A and B are shown apart, each in its own frame.
Chain A
Amino acid sequence: MPESGALTKADLAEKLYEELGLNKREAKEIVELFFEQIRHSLEANEQVKLSGFGNFDLRDKSQRPGRNPKTGEEIPISARRVVTFRPGQKLKARVEVYAGTKQ
């Protein structure tokens, strides 16, 4: 478990060291590569499907009108590509159980 606050890459590397016996350098490298390969795929406009966990999808948004909230001035928000995450059935079901125990 993370010692405090949110889970980080260091916690994931620690888990690989403890449970799989990877050495600390290997564990850290695998964690880096895991996130880097996902980013790499997404920046090549390739969807990432991790069964049981979820899918990272890409969406192209067209330009839309925006406004500077301070001045009220109209500024167009440029067309952009964004990443969205769709949790898988298994992850959704596991998270819903938490709702039952803490709320």
Chain B
Amino acid sequence: MAAAMALSSGLFYSCTESGAEGKTLPILGEREAVEREVGGKTVVDTVYHQIPDFAFVDQDSQQVTQNTVAGKVYVTDFFFTSCPTICPKMKSQMLRVYEKYKDNPNVLLLSHSIDPQHDTVAVLHDYAERLHITSDKWHLLTGEKDSIYDIASKYLVPAQEDGDQAGGGFTHGGHFILVDGQRHIRGVYDGTEAASVDQLIQDIPVLLNEKQDGQK
């Protein structure tokens, strides 16, 4: 599990390493070549992996959907509040991202609970209060269990219920996923490693600049 994560993050790092100036981030995930006819000629379009529409509820009972994140850069992860293993570490690292981009309305954070039965809005509300975070920036999400596990796979994050008491009953990757305004995955980071999260914090402006360029 940990080894698989190290391997996958290693793979992703090798693709994203480059200088800070003029840096771009790849679009990750499977892509499809789709052929279409234009004026009798065949044109091939590349269709990139995109996060599908979604609808969850956050710690303040607000609906959070694809419209909430439209045109914004967001970082997402999967956790559960009673997790005794990697989650606290992930949350302490996500707090670094939160503090860094607290005042930038173009950056959002979405943390999905993979134990929605236990992690109700009330539980998430208490958790957020104790973390001293606000829901206009960092949404702690709950919802239909199947929808959450389904979207985890779309973010390429492994998540499953395993019933192992020592681990809290669930297994999930400690990944932080960086997503752009078109819901394309642009980076995968190890949310338990400070150095990897440093990289994430440096990569966010690359997408923010991209967005500005696009508006010109």
On whether the two chains bind one another, the answer is: no
